[in-house]
Amino acid sequence: MNGLECPCGSGQSYSECCEKVHLDIKKADTAEKLMRSRYSAFVLGKGDYLKKSHHSKTVKSVDFKVLMEWSNSVIWKSLEIIRTKKGGSQDVEGYVEFKAFYMEGVKLRVLHQNSLFTRQNGHWVYNDLAKRG
């Protein structure tokens, strides 16, 4: 995928954008960057990264095999970041509201979430159990 546009829609190449985070999660210095890298991981079938970027308190509640089977059965189209709240390089938590568009069969579908991200072990992780803001 070297030189190709990153799936997250940043306008950068994959090698300059999400690949860096996929190789070193600490490169995601904001909650939005982690969100973008997770979307790209869904597109590229990187289940190990999705697991790594999930909060330790909730990771065991996710069946990543089933999640990846579903993710690989759809065609990911685009990611739209609607807004962010906190989640900067100095914050410890942040919210990213987004829409992820995908084709399931012949139907265009959208996953619309306002997700919480927190810092754990010095890097951002997706945290789906904490109170929403």
Give 2-49 pLDDT, tens digit per residue: 579 999 999 999 999 999 999 999 999 999 999 999 999 999 999 999
Residue 133 pLDDT > 50:
no
Name the band, by pLDDT with cuts 50, 70 and 90, for residue 132.
Answer: very low
124-133 mean pLDDT = 70
Name the band, by pLDDT with cuts 50, 70 and 90, for residue 130.
Answer: very low
Name the band, by pLDDT with cuts 50, 70 and 90, for residue 128.
Answer: confident
Cβ distance 119 to 93 under 8 Å?
yes
- The pLDDT of residue 1 is 56
For Cα atoms 39, 50, 100, give the angle at the middle one, nearest 5 degrees: 20
The second-level CATH assignment, the architecture, of 14-126 is Roll (3.10)
Report how far apart, in Å, the C-alpha atoms of 67 and of each of 63, 64, 74, 111, 116 are: 6, 5, 11, 14, 19
For 78, the token pair is 């685009």
The single-letter DSSP state of residue 25 is G
107-126 mean pLDDT = 96
In single-letter form, the type of residue at position 119 comes to R
Residue with tokens 């159990």: 129
In single-letter form, the type of residue at position 48 comes to D
Cβ distance 95 to 31 under 8 Å?
yes
Percentage of the residues of the chain whose pLDDT score is greater than 70: 94
Alpha carbon 43 to its chain centroid, in Å, reads 10
